[in-house]
Structure 1
Amino acid sequence: MKKNPSPLLSIVPIIILVLLLFATIRIFGSDALNGGSQIVLLTTTSVCVLIGMAGFKIAWKDFEIAITNNIAGIATALIILLIIGALSGSWMISGVVPTLIYYGVQIIHPHFFLASTCIICALVSLMTGSSWTTIATIGIALMGIGKAQGFDEGWIAGAIISGAYFGDKVSPLSDTTVLASSVTDTPLFTHIRYMMITTIPSLIITLIIFTIAGLSHDASNTEHIAAFSASLATKFNITPWLLLVPLTTGVLIARKAPSLITLFLSAAMAGLFALIFQPQLLHEISGLPGGGAESAFKGLMMTFYGTTNLQTNNVGLTELIATRGMGGMLNTVWLIVCAMCFGGAMTASGMLGSITSVFVRFMKNTVSVVASTVCSGIFLNLTTADQYISIILTGNMFNNIYKNKGYESRLLSRTTEDAVTVTSVLIPWNTCGMTQATILSVPTLTYLPYCFFNVISPLMSILVAAIGYKIIKKQPQ
């Protein structure tokens, strides 16, 4: 019988991973995802393989099979990520996202600024699938509006981040959402629908807090909002017809159409609307003189696969409408493939099983299972300083435990997002926390007490587990 490494020895690769990630993030900052983190993952994979082969006589073939199976298991997710890149570009350039923003900012009232900020950031993040893009663009504009109205920067940043991470968490365009569902073998829209059970109550509580805080504040300056809306209307042809794209996407999701089909049709429809409503932008993107069909075709293709940078008279708007297309997803794809190599090596060596055996001792019921997952996810966010790696490790560590105890995979995928995605921004040395603090010019510990959605979400996950609402337990394996 093959002997597995002890839990103490099994944690050695993770310790090395944490130390190397700490050094990488300290040196590269938010650019660590451009290659540094990937190299760290491959390095720790080699350490894991070395321990397994030299100390426990595990054949290289076993490692190769485990790594291949891991990567094969996320093949669909990688394709989805690439289509998401095309979708993000087409939704922006076609005017879908600008139209949503244009109508959204019209509802801002000074007394409801914090709640409106949270809602607007949630909608933008939901449509773009990126909390980083939302915070770095509309978030900066809202910071200026909030400061002009006399709000404390901690409150403004908390409202921005709460909304942005709500959208990031439940958007089918979000790479973390796709990653959490794929790592746990949960269909994407099944994962999203199940998350609503914990996410909607968390958002409602958050909005109540922001509404009460806003009503007690005296704010009356709305000039920034008018300027931003005017810039949007100048650059894009804003029309309600563009809302047919998100409406159609919502119908496809409600009818449980396959993720790939839904996302592809949504991107194609947005591309068609770009040709109809924003031909001048496609000509600008293509850079070809004279315009015409050739210019429009080139601009549309570049919108799907490449980087676009349209200039406006508003700096915040210029940053908001910049897109990365399918090419912008390649760093995430690269990171996921490298993380799958590490997860495969940890599985083949028996180290992952050895570590999870320690957690099993504390799992007596549903609450303890979910609470252990939440604590592990937050711990990995603290130690690995990266939400992608934390999602992958949490999913891999608990996947078999949930199966053996008879829980559905959607419970693990939801708990992983409740614990990892939303808390990453609350940690000063995490790539998310470091990036958002830099973008908003607000220290992480300053905005942390006001990120109510991010703090409530993991607690809500444990509370729903305690209630037992829609937690279906099958016959344990």
Structure 2
Amino acid sequence: MTDEYKGSRGSLSGLLPILIFLAVYIGAGIIFQDFYAMPAIVGFLIALTAAFLQNRKKSFQEKLTVVTRQMGDENVMTMCLIFILAGAFSGSVQAAGGVDSTVNFGLSVLPPSVAVTGLFLIGCFISTAMGTSVGTIAALTPIAVGISQKTGLSGAMCVGAVISGAMFGDNLSMISDTTIAATRTQGCEMRDKFRENIKIVLPAAVVTMVLFLVLAGKAEYRLEENLDYNFFKILPYLVVLIGALAGMNVFFVLILGTVLSLIVGVAAGAILPEQIFTVIAKGPDGKGGIMNMYDITAISIIVSGIIGLVKANGGIDYILYHIRKRVKTQKGAQVGIAALSSLVDISTANNTIAIVMAGPVAKDISEEFGVTPRRTAALLDIFTSVWQGIIPYGAQLLYASAGAAALGLSPVDFLPYLFYPVLMGVSALGYILFPRKERL
């Protein structure tokens, strides 16, 4: 057996930092009955420390060089810059009142017979425009609770429609951190990933609409709340969405959206001139904007460093070797990518972190078996979103449960109505197992 062949097998011990992170992160969640008791960044710092303690054949300086070189990779730094700009846009557009106007506009034009389906559609639009599922759930869950209370419709079904719509946009939005992470780790354009992604998930969205229509199509409701909206405030969302789809540079699109949001906000009186810089940095409530992206930016950098040492210690080669032993086809490689991203998301309860962790391994698999970067990016985003939309301990269902406290609903109560995340996974598996003739 040659040294080269040994090297190709990699080493299980190279994966130890990742296994330590999962053990510490999941263990803390179980012990404290709260999967957010330990901030992810702390778990990753523990894993990075473990990675530095491995492989005594290399000096600390050699390991540090590997880590910093990986952290400074062009794709990693580009991803971090996009996170920051996306935070700036999110903070400014929220301060300008774009979220409220968008929600009220959608509810104002909905016929009563499609109340629940309408919640799903509005959730799809808002999450695609805002790039955040949690933000969408926070904005729409109170409306869903109001509809349930006024109509007698199942509160779990109404909120389930909101969650389903939120996961649609989380997966597809051009400014979603999951899209940013998926495309940067695979080195593809956002518009290419979007086109690949939309054709996979659109059948799931259509079937979801039909299911909600059948279950709640005869409902009548009337909201007493003020549904005033200003179409001018919705404009920044539309500009960002259309600009990104048209293939404009993502940096330019986000800067344009931020500037336009500030102009709209100041013109409408929602943002005072002296607040312009504050809302960019912190959002309207002091918890959004660029500041809201600090955690995921720092996590992305730390995880990249960990992956650098994992790769140097043979961990990536170990995974690839065993995948190659079992996977002989392009279909098998895609199933492997789907399984990898699913397991990491179930373990971390954060789809962006899961993509950042699984992305480098998925890229190696895709290159080995000829899967295009756009398909790999779509699969990473889809399958992490599938599980993020249905695990009861994820932020999405926890936020929904908190917003629906008036109805006494727990995260588990939503599960029977989370049609879209489940159908999204089914549709993606269908595309893998029964591909079209086009090149993957």
TM over 0.5: same fold?
yes
Question: Structure 1 residues 12, 242: CA separation in 2 closer, same or farther (over 3 Å shift)?
Answer: closer
Q: 1:466 Cα shift?
A: 2.8
Change (3 A) 1:462 1:63: farther
Distance 1:84 1:41 in 2: 24
Contact 1:97–1:127, Cα closer than 8 Å, also in 2: no
Question: Please, which of 423, 426, 431 is the counterpart of residue 459 of structure 1?
Answer: 426
Change (3 A) 1:6 1:323: closer
Bigger mean CA deviation after superposition, 129-138 or 87-96: 87-96
Given that 2:26 and 2:35 are in contact with CA atoms closer than 8 Å, whether structure 1 keeps it comes out as: no
Percent identity for Structure 1 against Structure 2: 18
Which residues in structure 2 correspond to 1:324-403 (within 5 Å)? Answer: 324-403=288-367
Alignment of 1:152-191 (within 5 A): 152-191=154-193
Pairs within 5 Å for 1:125-274? 125-215=127-217, 217=218, 219-223=219-223, 226-229=224-227, 233=228, 238-274=229-265
Contact residue 110 and residue 149 of structure 1 kept, 8 A: no
1:127: how far off?
1.9
Distance in 2 separating the partners of 1:174 and 1:363: 31
Pair 246,151 (structure 1): closer, same or farther in 2 beyond 3 Å: same
Q: Does the aligned pair in 1 maintain the 2:126–2:169 contact within 8 Å?
A: yes
Tell me, in whole angstroms, the C-alpha distance in 1 between the residues paired with 2:180 and 2:129: 15
- Helix, strand or coil at the partner of 2:436: coil
Cα deviation digits, residues 151-210 of structure 1 (max 9, x gap): 223312221110011111111221122112122222223222221111222211111111
Distance in 2 separating the partners of 1:246 and 1:435: 23
Note if 1:429 corresponds to 2:420: no
> Contact 1:202–1:453 (CA<8 Å) still a contact in 2?
yes
Whether contact under 8 Å (1:113, 1:146) holds in the other structure is: no
- After TM superposition, the structure 1 stretch with the greater mean CA deviation from structure 2, 107-116 or 5-14, is 5-14
Would the aligned equivalents of 1:131 and 1:165 in 2 still touch at CA under 8 Å?
yes
Cα distance in 1, alignment partners of residues 97 and 347 from structure 2: 40
The answer for the alignment partner of 2:20 in structure 1 is 16
- CA distance in 2 between counterparts of 1:91 and 1:204 reads 29
Cα distance between partner residues in 1 of 2:42 and 2:334: 32
70 and 422 in structure 1: CA distance in 2 versus 1, 3 angstrom threshold: farther
Question: Deviation of residue 115 (structure 1)?
Answer: 0.5
1:59-114 Cα offsets, whole Å, 9 max, x none, are 54553344334322311111111111111122223233332222101133343111
Deviations 1:225-261 (A, max 9, x none): x3041xxx3xxxx433444433433442243111101
Is the deviation greater in 104-113 or in 114-123?
Answer: 104-113
Q: Name the SS for the 2:326 alignment partner.
A: coil
Q: Which residue of 2 aligns with 1:119?
A: 121
Return the offset for 1:417: 0.9
1:445 aligns to 2:412 (yes or no): yes
Q: Name the residue aligned to 1:46.
A: 49
Cα distance change, pair 28–333 in 1 and its aligned pair in 2 (3 A):
farther
Pair 1:282 & 2:249 matched: no
Secondary structure at the residue paired with 1:429?
coil
Structure 1 gaps of 5+ residues are: 284-295, 310-321
Q: What SS class does the counterpart of residue 106 from structure 1 fall into? A: helix
Matched residue, 1:319: none
Aligned residue number for residue 315 of structure 1: none
Equivalent pair of 2:84/2:293 in contact (CA under 8 Å): yes
Instruction: State the distance in 2 between where 1:351 and 1:330 align.
Output: 28
| Corresponding letter in the other structure for 2:300 | I
* Counterpart-to-counterpart distance in 1, 2:232 and 2:348: 45
Q: 1:82 aligns with which of 84, 88, 96?
A: 84
User: Partner amino acid for 2:429?
Assistant: I
Question: Scaled by the length of structure 1, what TM-score is found?
Answer: 0.83
Distance in 1 between residues matched to 2:134 and 2:339, nearest whole Å = 24
Alignment root-mean-square deviation, CA: 2.5
The 3-state SS of whatever aligns with 1:426 is coil
Cα deviation, 1:132-153, whole Å, max 9, x if unaligned, reads: 1111222232123224311223
1:338 to 1:166, Cα distance in 2 relative to 1, 3 A: same
Instruction: Report the Cα offset of residue 333 of structure 1.
Output: 1.0
- Please give the alpha-carbon distance, in whole angstroms, between the structure 2 residues aligned to 1:68 and 1:470: 42
Partner of 2:95: 93
**Do the aligned partners of 2:129 and 2:241 also contact (CA within 8 Å) in 1?**
no
* Cα drift, residue 266 of structure 1: 1.5
- Look up the SS of the partner of 1:418 in the other structure: helix
Rounded Cα–Cα distance in structure 1 between residues aligned with 2:429 and 2:65: 36
Q: Secondary structure at the match of 2:153?
A: coil
Aligned to 1:302: 278
Measured against aligned partners, the alpha-carbon deviations of 1:335-361 in whole angstroms (never above 9, x if no partner) come to 212221221221111112202321222
Q: Secondary structure at the match of 1:220?
A: coil
Moved more, 430-439 or 175-184: 430-439
Displacement, 1:433?
Answer: 4.2
Contact kept? 1:131, 1:168, Cα under 8 Å: yes
Shift of 1:267: 1.2
The aligned counterpart of 1:408 is 372
- AA aligned to 2:372 is E
Counterpart code for 1:299: Q
